[in-house]
Structure 1
Amino acid sequence: MNTIPPTSPAPDGHALGARIGLAARLWRRAVDQRLQPYGLTQATWRPLLQLARAPEALRQKELAQALGLDNSAVVRVLDALAAAGLIERKGLPDDRRARAIVLTPAGLAMVEQVTASAADVLEKATAGIAAEDLATAEHVLARICARLSDADDIGEAARP
């Protein structure tokens, strides 16, 4: 079994940021491994999930923004997903130049597989952890995410 050493505490004694980053990398790796037989990687399953969760069809630019990716990187991924028959680009009635990205029936079926695989990874990763502890972790991470999303000054560099 592959063991991951604990993160070293930061000079101030807090390793939370490093632990969050490590957990995210390990999560993506585990889900990627589960989805390998379907030819999916994080680069392809994340857009599928984003499209499935969106309340309406997204334009390429909106998808890129939602994923935190450069528009040109999303073009390559969407081309691959379209070639695999998982998405289609459809014209919009209000803007003939723009294209909405929609999941095909095969894409919807793949989203179900991604969701099931992610749920299985989560179940195995959290086995034996008390429900109260998981709820606390979820609550704390949600608060951290909200603060990072809302605060403009958190990520700013120090000014001389």
Structure 2
Amino acid sequence: MTLEALQLNISSGMVTASRHWRRICQTTLANYGISEACAVPLLMIVRLGDGVRQVAVAQAAGLESPSLVRLLDQLCRAGFVCRSEDPDDRRAKALSLTPRGRELAEAIESELVRLRREVLQDISPADLEAALRVVRAFEEAGRHSQSEQSSGASS
């Protein structure tokens, strides 16, 4: 296969694979009664640790702040997350999971670990590392494009 064909297959395949993986995850999340949109910040909080700043969760989740605020409102109303003033910066909000939220996040995370193991069981660590380099290249291109658009908009 030519380099151009490989690049086409990778870029197209990532879109398709992403759709399939999201569908698998959505089915799993539905079993827990939570949407993918709400699960993302919930999982980011458990991964980043209690007391994490709201802006750090937004960055880790790839969300704009207003979108995250709406999701956090839902998670707080459902009793999964609590917001507080950041002790180091009263302007910032710190996020923590409630016991109920931690239980849900850990159950979801455990199921996602199982799913990843199942899907990737026949892929060698070297192949996973190569795939991760490819994903990172696309992530970096997206960040670069976004920063160019932001700087162009402010000119």
Q: TM-score, length-normalised on structure 2?
A: 0.78
Unmatched segments (≥5 aa) in structure 2 = 150-155
1:39 maps to a residue whose letter is G
1:86 maps to a residue whose letter is F
Instruction: Quote the sequence identity (%).
Output: 30
Tell me the equivalent position of 1:3: none
Contact 1:92 1:98 in 2 (8 A): yes
SS at match of 2:84: strand
Equivalent of 1:12, from 4, 18, 40? Answer: 4
Tell me the equivalent position of 1:112: 106
Unmatched segments (≥5 aa) in structure 1 = 1-8
Tell me the equivalent position of 2:39: 45
Deviations 1:16-38 (A, max 9, x none): 11112222221121111012032
Q: TM-score, length-normalised on structure 1?
A: 0.75
Tell me the equivalent position of 1:24: 18
Tell me the equivalent position of 2:131: 141
Tell me the equivalent position of 2:81: 87
Identify the range of structure 1 (143-152 vs 19-28) with the bigger mean alpha-carbon deviation: 143-152
Distance 1:30 1:94 in 2: 40
2:53 maps to a residue whose letter is R
Contact 1:81 1:87 in 2 (8 A): yes
Normalized per residue, the structure richer in helix is 2
